[in-house]
Amino acid sequence: MPHETALIATMSVALALAFVFGFVATRLRLPAIVGYLLAGVAVGPFTPGFVADMSLAPQLAEIGVILLMFGVGLHFSLDDLMAVWKIAVPGAIAQIAAATIMGWAVAALWGWSFGAGLVFGLALSVASTVVLLNALESRGILDSINGRIAVGWLIVEDLAMVLTLVLLPALAGLLKGEGGGELGAYAMVQPVLVTLGKVAAFVIFMLVVGRRVIPWILHYVAHTGSRELFRLAVFAISLGVAFGAAVLFDVSFALGAFFAGMILSESELSQRAANETLPLRDAFAVLFFVSVGMLVDPAIVLREPLPLLATVVIIIFGKSVAAFAIVRLFGYPTSTALTISASLAQIGEFSFILVSLGVSLALLPERGRDLVLAGAIISIMLNPLCFALLDRMLAKKEESATPEKPAEPAAPRIPLEASKLSNHVVLVGHGRVGSVVSKALRQAQVPILVIEDSPGSVEKLRQEGIEVITGNAAAPDMLQAANVGAARGLLVAIPDAFEGGQIVAKARAISTTLPIIARAHSEEEIAHLKHHGANTVIMGEQEIAKAMIAQIGLAGA
Ligand code: AMP
C-alpha cells in the first residue's frame, strides 16, 4: 500500500465503522450518536486493531464544526443575535463561572493546584457546538426562541474560550506560582485587549466588506446557472472565511463560519446555500463524534470510577442547575430554562482543546485530561436522555398548567409535546407540492399541521396562525408531536421516497387506520411506499403526463 493514505484510511474506516455502529445503535433503539462514539473508541489507540490517524481525525471533525456553524449562521440574522444577547451574555458568563468554581472545588479536594483546578473547571464549563446543534435540530427547535437563546449562549461561550486559550499561556507562569510577582497587570490585560481587538476587527471586516462581497459573489455565480459552481462557491465561502478568520484574526473556526453564514442569511439565496451544505455537513458531523470517541481510554471507568462520576455529575447536573437558575432569574419561563439546561449538559471540542493546552503548559495533570475526555463521551451519550427527561418535565408542567409569562409572546411556539389538534390533516413538506395542497386545505377550512425541514419557507404560515413543526419528519417523535394518531389523514409531500418511506412506516406504526397519501417519482418508489403502509401513492410524472394529455385534448377540441 502506498504510504500517503492516512487521510483516506482515517476517513473511510471512521465513516464505515460509524455507519455499522450507528446502524446497530439505532436498531437497539439507542441514539445513533452512541454508535458513532463507540466507533471512535474502536478505531482509537486504546483498543486493539486499526488505529486511525490521531492528528487528522480532529481536523476532519473541525470541518464538521465549521459547516454546522455556517448552517446555523444561515438561519440567524443580526437582529436575532441582538434579541438574545441580553440573556446570552450574562447567562453564559455566570454559568461558566459557576461550573468553573464547581470543577475547581472538586479538584481542590483531590489536592490539585489552583491552576489545575481552574483549567479543569473551565473545561467542564463549555458545551459542544456539534452536540447542541444536533440536539436542537433533531427536535425541530433550532429556530424557536429557546433554540436561539441556546445558540446565542453557545456563541458567548465560544468567545469566552477564544479569550481563555489566548490568556492561558500568558498566565501559566503566574498560575503555577513561578515568578508571578513580575507579571504586572499589563501582562494580563494586554492579551485580552489584543484578542478582543482582533475579534472586533473581524466582525467589522465582515459587516463592512463581507456583507457586500459575499452575497455579490453568490448572486453572480447563481446567474451562471451552474449548480456545481454554486455549491463550490458556498463551500469555498464557508471554509474560506472560517480559515481566514482563524489565520488572520485568531478567531475560532466556528465563529468565523457563523459570521459567514449570518451575512449570507440576509441574501435571498441563503436557503439554497443552506441546502447545498447539508450532505457534507452531516458526514463531517459524524466524523466529529468518531474523533471524540478516539480520544477516550475506556479503562478509566475502572481505574478512576469516583473522580469520573464527580466529573460527569458536574457536567450534567452542576452546569444544568446553574443554567436553569440563571435563566429563571432573568424572568424566562421554566420551559426555556429546562431547554437551555438540557442543551448545556454536555462538553466537547473546546474542552479537548483546553485540556490539551493545559497539559502542554504543565498546568493540568494528565489525569485531568483523561477525566475530561471520558466525562465528555459519557455526557454526550447521556444528552439524549437529558432531553427525554426535559420532555417528561414539560409534559408534567403542561398538565398542572399554571399560567406563566411567555418568553416572547409573538414568538412561534414550536410544540415539543403532542399538538392539541385533532381531525386535522398532517402535511409533510411545504415546497412546490405541499404549498399548493396547504392553500387548498386552508381555503376549505380544513385544520392542518405542517412539518417542514427548512424553516424559511414556513414563516408566513406561522404568521397566519397555522401550526408548524420545523425539522425532519422522519426524526423521532415528530409524528407524535403532530398528533397523527388523531389526524384525519397524512400527506407526505416530499420528493425523497426513502425518507418518505420511513415517515409512512412510523405513521403506520402509530395508527393502522390513518389514511396516508404519499408522493413518488417511479414505479419502484410507489411499491416502496405502499410496502411501508401508504394507502395511495401519487406519481408526479404520471400526473404531469395526464395534465399534458388533457391540455392537448382541450386544444384540439
Ligand atoms: P418540493 O419538492 O418543492 O415540493 O419541496 C419539498 C419540501 O419538503 C421542501 O420544502 C423540503 O424542505 C421539505 N422536506 C423534504 N424532506 C423533508 C422531511 N423529511 N421532513 C420535512 N420536510 C421535508
C-alpha cell at 440: 387548498
The angle, 0 to 180 degrees and rounded to 10, between the axes of the packed helices 319-329 and 334-344 is 150
Cα–Cα distance measured from residue 98 to residue 321, given in angstroms and rounded to the nearest whole number? 10
Q: Is the CB of 428 under 6 A from ligand 1?
A: yes
Full-model pTM = 0.68
Question: Which residue lies with its CA nearest to atom 14 of ligand 1?
Answer: 429
Q: From residue 413, give the alpha-carbon distance in Å to each of 23, 72, 390, 408, 463.
A: 33, 20, 16, 10, 11
Q: Is the CB of 455 under 6 A from ligand 1?
A: no
- SS3 sequence, 299-332? CHHHHCHHHHHHHHHHHHHHHHHHHHHHHHHCCC
What burial class does residue 446 get, using C-beta atoms within 10 Å of its C-beta: 0-12 exposed, 13-18 middle, 19+ buried?
Answer: middle
112-163 pLDDT tens trace:
999 999 999 999 999 988 888 888 887 777 777 888 889 889 888 888 888 8
C-alpha cell at 85: 444577547
What is residue 74's predicted lDDT score, i.e. its pLDDT?
Answer: 82
Confidence at 409, pLDDT banded by 50, 70, 90: very low
Asked if 358 and 118 touch (Cβ cutoff 8 Å), the reply is: no
Asked if 335 and 149 touch (Cβ cutoff 8 Å), the reply is: no
Q: Find the helix or strand (DSSP H, E) in which 150 lies.
A: helix 145-175
Q: Is the CB of 430 under 6 A from ligand 1?
A: yes
Cα–Cα distance measured from residue 33 to residue 372, given in angstroms and rounded to the nearest whole number? 19
Enter the DSSP assignment of 23.
H
Q: Is the CB of 454 under 6 A from ligand 1?
A: yes
Q: Is the CB of 453 under 6 A from ligand 1?
A: yes
Helix (H, G, I), strand (E, B) or coil at 502: helix
Q: How far is the CA of 12 from the centre of ligand 1 (A)?
A: 30
66-105 pLDDT tens trace:
888 888 888 777 777 788 888 899 999 999 999 999 999 9
Question: Which residue lies with its CA nearest to atom 18 of ligand 1?
Answer: 472
Q: Is the CB of 469 under 6 A from ligand 1?
A: no
Q: Is the CB of 138 under 6 A from ligand 1?
A: no
Q: Is the CB of 438 under 6 A from ligand 1?
A: no
Question: Which residue lies with its CA nearest to atom 5 of ligand 1?
Answer: 431
462 residue type, one letter: R
What is residue 119's predicted lDDT score, i.e. its pLDDT?
Answer: 94
Choose the residue to mutate in 75, 458, 494, 521 for probing ligand 1, maximizing ligand atoms within 8 Å of C-beta. Answer: 494
